[in-house]
Amino acid sequence: MQRTDDQAVACSPASASVTILEPRSGWKLIDFRELWAYRDLFYFLVWRDIKAHYAQTILGVGWAVIQPVFCMLVFTIVFGKLAEYVSILMTLYKKQEAFLRQVLQDYEAKMQKLPELEQGLSRITRSLKVYQDIYSYLIQRREETQIARATEVG
């Protein structure tokens, strides 16, 4: 009798009966009846896997309980402090935002009190200040470039 890869043949010398085991076709979910029928084997295999996994640790199987508890404690402490800092930062942010809104309202109130010509003058004055700062910066950069070139030549 020939044996294929998909079949397992069990022969007993005392009897002439032959048992052929064939795999089920397609994907099957867990067969709970079969699992219940072989629960002792399942328990033994699970226990063997746990013992093999934690055999090298000092605490043994207890590590399976202690390790998640320690992780929970560390996460609680770390993320608890983080949440505390976030709430403090949010409070400070809201206070700063309220202060800046008040300053903006004060400036807007002052601007509405000025006549239109004075508003134009204040815009021109602000633009002049910005242009003067840009011009000073560019002059400074030009002088730094000239100094750098002079040190390279010499």
Element (H, E) at 11: strand 8-11
> The tokens 């996994």 sit on which residue?
53
Based on C-alpha coordinates, what's the Rg of the chain?
Answer: 41
Phi, psi of 48 (to 5 degrees): -65, -40
Query: What residue spans of the chain are helical by DSSP H?
Result: 32-37, 39-53, 63-113, 116-153
Across 36-60, average pLDDT = 83
Give me the pLDDT at residue 6, please: 47
- Whether pTM > 0.75 for this model: the answer is no
Q: Between 123 and 2, whose confidence is greater?
A: 123
Across 70-81, average pLDDT = 88
> The tokens 């079969």 sit on which residue?
34
Q: pLDDT at residue 5 above 60?
A: no
